[in-house]
Chains A and B, each alone.
Chain A
């Protein structure tokens, strides 16, 4: 199943993996360096790196034992583009919702006025009877 974007989003859903990517944004790093800020075992970090690698978000070097990790921009750009489109969709919907709520408020106010007037006129009629 070619569902790379899902995989990218899935990989990004985890705060540790996001932090790893943020670190890699400032340059290559070894697994040991990446593990440093986290209170996590090496196997746990390796697991996260595998998820990121599978999603195409990072690449591992072949330089002997060092095998530095580096960021791969492509899938991140896909996600950024997607999110930006989606944000615009919602921002514009909210513009319309804001206008529509003002309309609803005016309508509510009108209805209340009518009710008050109806009450007043009933009251006046009642007084006339007396």
Chain B
């Protein structure tokens, strides 16, 4: 976010509306996770499209399209394919990049006509924690149309079904006496 933005709203309530200094109650969702990897590597995994394509989206998702122009104002384009075959396109734009500490982007899910159904301001903070990386994801919904909940529900159905199938598959293998798959549901 630009310094100008911060200046404009700074006088309003005393707190600069810089996305990094926003009060936690101004976010709709905050998720924290510590990754057992150095900060530079975690940042790289977030900012190189070949890497992002490997992990973006829930279990079973693939990303046949994953492009990102990593600079302020640069575009993001990702097509997620759910395990049930449905493709969910999204686009985004980078608002701020401070390697290897911080990323600010606006991510939007697109409907069939390429129109945005919801826009989410996303701030990712990478903090070094003695060789590990504490990652904080802060999300604020800027826009959400009436279709948005339906969209997410559909997406989630697409992946939980596939997890159920995986569960069945693993149960079948276990019944056969095989136990060579790891990571199955306990």
**A92-B58 in contact given A6-B145, A18-B25 (Cβ < 8 Å):** yes
Q: Are B156 and A100 in contact (CB under 8 A)?
A: no
B54 proximal to A (CB < 8 A): yes
- Number of residues on chain B facing chain A (CB within 8 A): 40
B59 proximal to A (CB < 8 A): yes
A61 proximal to B (CB < 8 A): no
Q: Are B146 and A4 in contact (CB under 8 A)?
A: yes
A120 proximal to B (CB < 8 A): no
Neighbouring A residues of B33 by C-beta, 8 Å? 94, 98
Chain B nearest CB, measured from A76 CB (Å): 12
- Complex: A59 Cα to B152 Cα, angstroms: 28
In the complex, which residue of chain B has the Cβ closest to the Cβ of A87? B29
Q: Are B57 and A104 in contact (CB under 8 A)?
A: no
- Complex: A6 Cα to B116 Cα, angstroms: 12
Q: Are A93 and B56 in contact (CB under 8 A)?
A: yes
**A94-B31 in contact given A89-B155, A101-B42 (Cβ < 8 Å):** yes
- Complex: A105 Cα to B45 Cα, angstroms: 11
- Number of residues on chain A facing chain B (CB within 8 A): 37
Chain B nearest CB, measured from A20 CB (Å): 12
Q: Are A93 and B51 in contact (CB under 8 A)?
A: no
- Complex: A12 Cα to B57 Cα, angstroms: 27
Q: Are B35 and A13 in contact (CB under 8 A)?
A: no
Q: Are A83 and B51 in contact (CB under 8 A)?
A: no
Q: What are 25 residue pairs bridging A and B, where the CB atoms are less than 8 Å apart in the complex?
A: A2-B146, A5-B118, A6-B141, A6-B142, A6-B145, A9-B140, A9-B141, A9-B142, A9-B143, A9-B144, A85-B152, A85-B156, A87-B31, A88-B58, A89-B155, A92-B57, A93-B55, A94-B135, A97-B35, A97-B55, A98-B33, A99-B55, A100-B45, A101-B45, A104-B37
Which residues of B are interface residues toward A (Cβ below 8 A)?
23, 25-26, 28-29, 31, 33, 35-37, 41-42, 44-45, 51, 54-59, 118, 120, 135, 137, 139-146, 148-149, 152-153, 155-156, 159
Q: Apart from A81-B153, A88-B156, list 15 A-B contacts with CB within 8 A.
A: A2-B146, A5-B118, A5-B149, A6-B142, A6-B144, A9-B28, A9-B140, A9-B143, A9-B144, A12-B28, A15-B23, A96-B54, A101-B42, A101-B45, A105-B41
Which residues of A are interface residues toward B (Cβ below 8 A)?
2-6, 9, 12-15, 18, 78-79, 81-83, 85-102, 104-105, 108
